[in-house]
Structure 1
């Protein structure tokens, strides 16, 4: 992207945004560039309180609700109008990077603080939200805070436990929340009118195109499965290959088949992953009797994803029969792709043209974000910031502060169009 635009032309405060990102990265820091801020941990609480201070410094009315969400509110001229929510999350993976989620929260805060400093007044209320537990790695169920305020939690979520046996309920209490009063934190139907989120891409498209920012067109719908295969254990040294009921061999063949199905159309954005596998009895000299593994299948085209799913199930049956093992399949998540609102994207396109003097790329999101939950109740839009080599969920995750500031500028101009002009 060749443009003369530089940070010296920004409306937002580039130095302030960079400083806050650097300060936040010190909380839960691992190594030189990594971060570990698991949801509802002491590091997460420290980070929430730090961002809360900055929200108050910006003149926002702040609160931490009983889901653990941090909310900064700027009341508009007509508070009865549906509100605009801008934000993301600040919790991290256990071995994560500095920019995942945080650019969306601190970028949103920079937007409203700049608006206030410029003397602008929104026609409707704006809320900057740092949602609790987007990542889902501690209790194996993410998007907790955003689903909470939308009254979309599933039965038993408070009783989920982490690897140390701590329940989410007790973690919330330790965090200072009251899980017996969650209903008071649920937003009334129709209260949220729009949601805009800025995020690092977590993929290589912008980086390969040498472009600092892009406009998201939609979020892929994930299908998450847990597959368990049951074979029969035996001595690795004595059971002939033709007699074996090896669950791990069957799991490996299913994994390869899944990869082939997702790769059939090289032009399609379909992705599939087996990311977790448990083997029993997990011994060097015993034929694996039982294997449990996860499948993550995503596509922006729901019909294409369904076609792959329809091929995958009979393929699993055939592989299991071939290796004399049985299978059970549990559907954990089955979400439809969610497309961004044209009106918000149009304002982003106009703003990009005004800022950069040219259009920016438009691309889909493979990972899901807080926006995918918000999309079930309101229009939404997303801005992506270039992520070096597409690396994320890794301490090597990297983004240029200049790119983040350019994304924040695009967010600023878009928000002004939505609530001021």
Structure 2
């Protein structure tokens, strides 16, 4: 194993002290004192690994190891160090610290690469503070717009104002953007946040693609009425209608291998115990790594719902909240990762990512690849989030072998 597993493990726990909560979890939002402390420590690690270090206009921390040909496009290794409230210590930081470990191990072994390697700690992937995630990766990809910086946190502070408080200049955000010809590939190590690898008995796996979320809000308008005085065959019960649609959503989604559907919120009006619900609203989070499959599911459930509501003389309104394109991982990078696994006598396991990651922002920018590390019980965004030291070491080793092949 080329990487220093013990060093990686030690740094994970050292970094977790910034924003540490009594529960053992971490709360580390972007543009806060806790994040600043974490960024400073990450910069120290990067310097120890022999990288030149800078912070770009968005607040991303970037460490660079030159190659023998510095005109060649760089291979980027990235993830984030911000967290959700009471989050775990692995989600995000493992990818950043593993990237630093890859570069440090190369330096210690006197490995010379042709292509430069850059390790990036992206600002605000989670979106926990402002409800608008992947700020840093959007900025680097050139898709972060000035109007995005007007998103506010619960105290009414905009992203732009928070940046200014951190000695950044929001009017210069375009300076963080990179030209695609300067980047050869983007790779990331992350915990799985699911149980696929655990059930397969494998320490790590190769991601086939990142599912794109489609968020919609559905409102069914029926007719409120007396619960006791309205016969069943005369009702326009919006909740019963919504439940039929939700059942169809589940049945339709199950027809597709990688699709998932979640009804995260549901509410009824007027909300009385003895009143037939006149209006029901629910949200749908629909995801798949294949945009065509996701669109087919969307079309099927929309057609079914509209037809059903028309038959019952009820109104339906569907509001789109967010539509993000899925991001398939590069077949070429997946092949490199498979070769890396075989070199390490590991059985290659392929799996999709249902959760979003910074790499999604580079889908039209450069080839992307991801390695997942096994998660205990599939728990994430929780103080109980856990991956073993050995599994983290295996994942980092796959990352090392992959970057070695991409840069030499």
Tell me if both proteins adopt one fold, taking TM over 0.5 as the criterion. yes
- Structure 2 matches for 1:321-332, cutoff 5 A? 321=310, 325-332=314-321
Aligned pair partner of 1:412 in 389, 400, 408: 400
- Whether the 8 Å CA contact 2:23–2:86 is kept in 1: the answer is no
Aligned pair partner of 1:378 in 360, 366, 374: 366
User: 1:120 maps to which residue?
Assistant: 111
Gaps of 5+ in 2: none
Q: Identify if the C-alpha distance between structure 1 residues 318 and 214 changes in structure 2 by more than 3 Å, giving closer, same or farther.
A: same
User: 1:344 maps to which residue?
Assistant: 333
Matched, 1:389 2:377: yes
Aligned pair partner of 2:137 in 146, 151, 170: 146
CA distance in 1, matches of 2:270, 2:99: 49
Aligned pair partner of 1:261 in 239, 252, 266: 252
CA distance in 2, matches of 1:192, 1:262: 37
User: 1:209 maps to which residue?
Assistant: 200
User: 1:353 maps to which residue?
Assistant: 342
Q: Identify if the C-alpha distance between structure 1 residues 119 and 361 changes in structure 2 by more than 3 Å, giving closer, same or farther.
A: same
User: 2:64 maps to which residue?
Assistant: 73
CA distance in 1, matches of 2:60, 2:167: 11
- Structure 2 matches for 1:20-419, cutoff 5 A? 20-154=11-145, 156-230=147-221, 247-265=238-256, 268-277=257-266, 290-321=279-310, 325-355=314-344, 357-419=345-407
Kindly provide the CA deviation profile for residues 226-245 of structure 1, in whole angstroms up to 9, marking residues without a partner as x.
33444566677877766665
CA distance in 2, matches of 1:154, 1:319: 40
- Whether the 8 Å CA contact 1:246–1:323 is kept in 2: the answer is no
Quote the RMSD (CA, aligned, Å): 2.5
Q: Identify if the C-alpha distance between structure 1 residues 166 and 189 changes in structure 2 by more than 3 Å, giving closer, same or farther.
A: same
CA distance in 2, matches of 1:353, 1:46: 39
CA distance in 2, matches of 1:237, 1:171: 55
CA distance in 1, matches of 2:278, 2:169: 44
CA distance in 2, matches of 1:246, 1:40: 47
1:382 deviates by 0.9
1:279 deviates by 5.2
- Whether the 8 Å CA contact 2:58–2:139 is kept in 1: the answer is yes
- Whether the 8 Å CA contact 2:192–2:374 is kept in 1: the answer is yes
The 10-residue stretch of structure 1 (291-300 or 174-183) with the greater mean CA deviation from structure 2 = 291-300
- Whether the 8 Å CA contact 2:142–2:176 is kept in 1: the answer is no
Q: Identify if the C-alpha distance between structure 1 residues 167 and 249 changes in structure 2 by more than 3 Å, giving closer, same or farther.
A: farther
1:275 deviates by 1.8
CA distance in 2, matches of 1:293, 1:302: 23
Q: Identify if the C-alpha distance between structure 1 residues 263 and 122 changes in structure 2 by more than 3 Å, giving closer, same or farther.
A: same
CA distance in 2, matches of 1:165, 1:278: 26
3-state secondary structure, aligned to 2:77:
strand
The 10-residue stretch of structure 1 (245-254 or 99-108) with the greater mean CA deviation from structure 2 = 245-254
3-state secondary structure, aligned to 1:190:
helix
3-state secondary structure, aligned to 1:29:
coil
TM-score, structure 2 length as denominator? 0.91
1:176 deviates by 2.7
CA distance in 1, matches of 2:238, 2:123: 38
Report the count of equivalent residues.
408
CA distance in 1, matches of 2:202, 2:331: 22
- Whether the 8 Å CA contact 1:253–1:319 is kept in 2: the answer is no
Q: Identify if the C-alpha distance between structure 1 residues 129 and 235 changes in structure 2 by more than 3 Å, giving closer, same or farther.
A: farther
The 10-residue stretch of structure 1 (58-67 or 234-243) with the greater mean CA deviation from structure 2 = 234-243
